[in-house]
Amino acid sequence: MPTLIAGIVAVALLYVALNIIKGADPKWLAKVVRGGGGIVTLAAALFIGARGELAVAIPLGIFGAGLLGWSPFGAQLGSAWGNYGPGAWKSNGQKSKVRSQFIEMTLDHDTGALEGLITAGPETGRVLEDFTLDELIALARGFDAESWALLESYLDRRFPAWREHAQGEGAGRSGGEDRRAAPSGKMTAEEAYQILGLKPGAGRDEISRAHRGLMKKLHPDQGGSTYLAARVNEAKDTLLRNHR
């Protein structure tokens, strides 16, 4: 009987845990998993070290500390685990901003989330998330080339198959026009800092690090945006010229 009761309790707890996981925020869940894994790994390292097996305990302890974000080798661990793995490069909340005549696009360095705000026209002040795909395509018919290129970057993230949908509806690319986005003018240092998500006066190492982190998320070979990747490259070049 005690075994049966224990089994029922275990199944009930498992059911509750699965429901919590199902409805949990992925970022919060990943943090919990990393934190729990780090604590368990450190505990195992302490236990093994107490038994005198330091050759195993020390690297295990370093790895556990890295999971908790304490390891001095975090960047190297991150490269092995990927952009969102333990010890991955973190930007401490940095965000990039790219502006055009009609849109301001914001990219979160840590999550890769892309958000857009309408900055001109009758829909000024509204976020792109408020619109359906058809509404966004219709809205874009009045955009300039740069604004359309920014919108494409957003649509590629939110509606991966939007191009096929637009062609099926006969809308084509912004009403069928073949536009080529080109920078509206020479990029200023202020714009470059905003695109890289840096504060004025950032050093060469900070500029290079921000550029690398963004290109991992925006490079066309990784399913990113050609236009945004070009703007990030231009921002890096603009700022590094000032450090010569």
Task: Write the pLDDT tens digit of every residue in 218-238.
Answer: 776 666 778 888 899 999 999
Please compute the mean of the pLDDT values over residues 123-150 and round it to a whole number.
92
163: pLDDT strictly greater than 90:
no
Domain containing 203: what range? 189-243
180: pLDDT strictly greater than 50:
no
CATH number of the domain where residue 234 is located = 1.10.287.110
Higher pLDDT, 20 or 161: 161
What local confidence, expressed as pLDDT, does residue 125 receive?
A: 95
**Integer distance in angstroms from the first to the last C-alpha of the chain?**
78
In a domain, 179, yes or no: no
Please compute the mean of the pLDDT values over residues 69-76 and round it to a whole number.
49
In a domain, 174, yes or no: no
Confidence category of residue 4, pLDDT binned at 50, 70, 90: low
156: pLDDT strictly greater than 70:
yes
Percent of the chain with pLDDT over 70: 64
What local confidence, expressed as pLDDT, does residue 119 receive?
A: 94
In a domain, 79, yes or no: no
pLDDT in tens, 97-120: 999 999 999 988 777 788 999 999
Query: For the chain, how many structural domains are there in total?
Result: 3
197: pLDDT strictly greater than 80:
yes
18: pLDDT strictly greater than 60:
no
Confidence category of residue 48, pLDDT binned at 50, 70, 90: confident
Q: Three-state DSSP class for 3? A: helix
The last residue of one of the domains, among 112, 139, 168, is 168
**Three-state SS letters, 116-152:** EEECCCCCCCCEHHHCCHHHHHHHHCCCCHHHHHHHH
Q: Are residues 108 and 154 in the same domain?
A: yes
Q: Are residues 2 and 43 in the same domain?
A: yes
| Alpha-carbon gap, residue 131 to 137, rounded angstroms | 10
Q: Are residues 160 and 193 in the same domain?
A: no
pLDDT in tens, 123-136: 999 999 999 999 99
Q: Are residues 117 and 64 in the same domain?
A: no
In a domain, 182, yes or no: no
What local confidence, expressed as pLDDT, does residue 223 receive?
A: 62
In a domain, 158, yes or no: yes
In a domain, 87, yes or no: no
In a domain, 111, yes or no: yes
| Alpha-carbon gap, residue 162 to 157, rounded angstroms | 10
The last residue of one of the domains, among 68, 86, 107, is 68
What local confidence, expressed as pLDDT, does residue 179 receive?
A: 45
Residue 38 burial class via C-beta count within 10 angstroms: exposed 0-12, middle 13-18, buried 19 and up: buried
In a domain, 15, yes or no: yes
Please compute the mean of the pLDDT values over residues 155-160 and round it to a whole number.
87
Q: Are residues 153 and 209 in the same domain?
A: no
